[in-house]
Structure 1
Amino acid sequence: MENNVELDGFIQIAIVVKDIQKAAETWAKFFNVPVPEIHNHPPSHNPDLTYRGKPAYYGLKLANIQVGKFIIELHEPDEHESTFREFLDKHGNGVHHLGFQVGEKRDAVIGELEEMGYVMRTIGYYPGSSWTIVDSEEDLGVNLNIKPRA
């Protein structure tokens, strides 16, 4: 890729789970850290969130565990269509995506990935940043999350 992703931009491993409480407790025990707080995000209409090119409407339970320079992000999706529900239904528990911080190259990296034939599965914007889930499961075995900053 012309706009390559730097290795030091690898910031996140996101895991989709059926039972976030159990997963959070197990990961915390594994790393000998406190059980992370679980945030419940109910479904809402958000104009800054899409799933497969259409406005997204789904809920998600989320917990983060800081492990050195990385974050292990746990996701428990609700029943509504989302990239996380799609993954859980297809694979069960597992690594949904690896997250990369690419700074100002975000649009260029996304553009190159699209030119390579990868579909942008989910795009979300929030104050100060964004996240884009790239559908790369078939080739890489995992999706990618491209962010300008964490």
Structure 2
Amino acid sequence: MNNPIPLGGFIQIALVVENIETAIDSWCELFDVPRPSVRVTEAVPNHDETYRGAVAAYGLKLAVIDCADRGFIVELHEPDRNPSTFREFLDKHGNGVHHVGFQVGDARDAVIGELEDMGYVMRTLGAGGSWTIVDAEDALGVNLNIKPHL
């Protein structure tokens, strides 16, 4: 790649789970960290986000465990039943690592372009391009989240 994903840009590991409350308890016990709050979004059309080319409309429970001292976060996602990258993963694989996230700065569009040229499909484009889930399950065993900035 002319614009390789920088290993130093690793910022996130995201898991999709059937039960976020159980997952939070387990991760917080493992890390001995305070329990994060759970943010709940409703299943309404979001014109700033697409899923496989269509306007996304799904609900999600999300919790973030901040591992700032290590330079990354752990995200836990419990999707509703509506079509989304998270529901697709959970239905196919069950609980597991949905994506790893990388901050690539101003190279974001170039990285995304090269990944598309390599045959990767952009599964989800979120919030005006502030994050992009790249479908890399078959080739890499996990999806990628390419972010321009934190």
- TM, length-normalised to structure 2: 0.96
Aligned residue for 1:105?
107
Write the distance in 2 (CA, Å) between the matches of 1:71 and 1:17.
Answer: 16
**Other-structure match for 1:14:** 14
Say whether residues 1:87 and 2:89 are aligned partners. Answer: yes
Structure 2: how far apart are the matches of 1:6 and 1:139? Answer: 18
The Cα offsets for residues 6-49 of structure 1, whole Å up to 9 and x where unpaired, read as 11100000000000011011100100001111111111211110
- Inter-partner Cα distance in structure 1 for 2:127 and 2:60: 16
When the two chains are superposed, the root-mean-square deviation of aligned CA atoms in Å is 0.9
* Percentage of matched positions with identical amino acids: 64
**Residue in 2 aligned with 1:130?**
130
Q: Does 1:119 align with 2:121?
A: yes
Residue 56 of structure 1, CA deviation: 0.7
The residue number in structure 2 matching 1:57 is 57
Runs of 4+ deviating beyond 4 Å:
none
Residue 102 of structure 2 corresponds to residue 96 of structure 1: no
Specify which structure has the higher proportion of helix: 2
- 5+ unaligned residues in a row in structure 2: which ranges? none
Deviation at 1:53, TM superposition (A): 0.6
1:80-132: CA deviation from partner (whole Å, max 9, x where unpaired): 00000000000000000000000000000000000000000000116xx6110
Counterpart of 2:95, as a letter, is N
Under a length normalisation based on structure 1, what TM-score does the superposition of the two structures give? Answer: 0.96
2:73 matched residue in structure 1 = 71
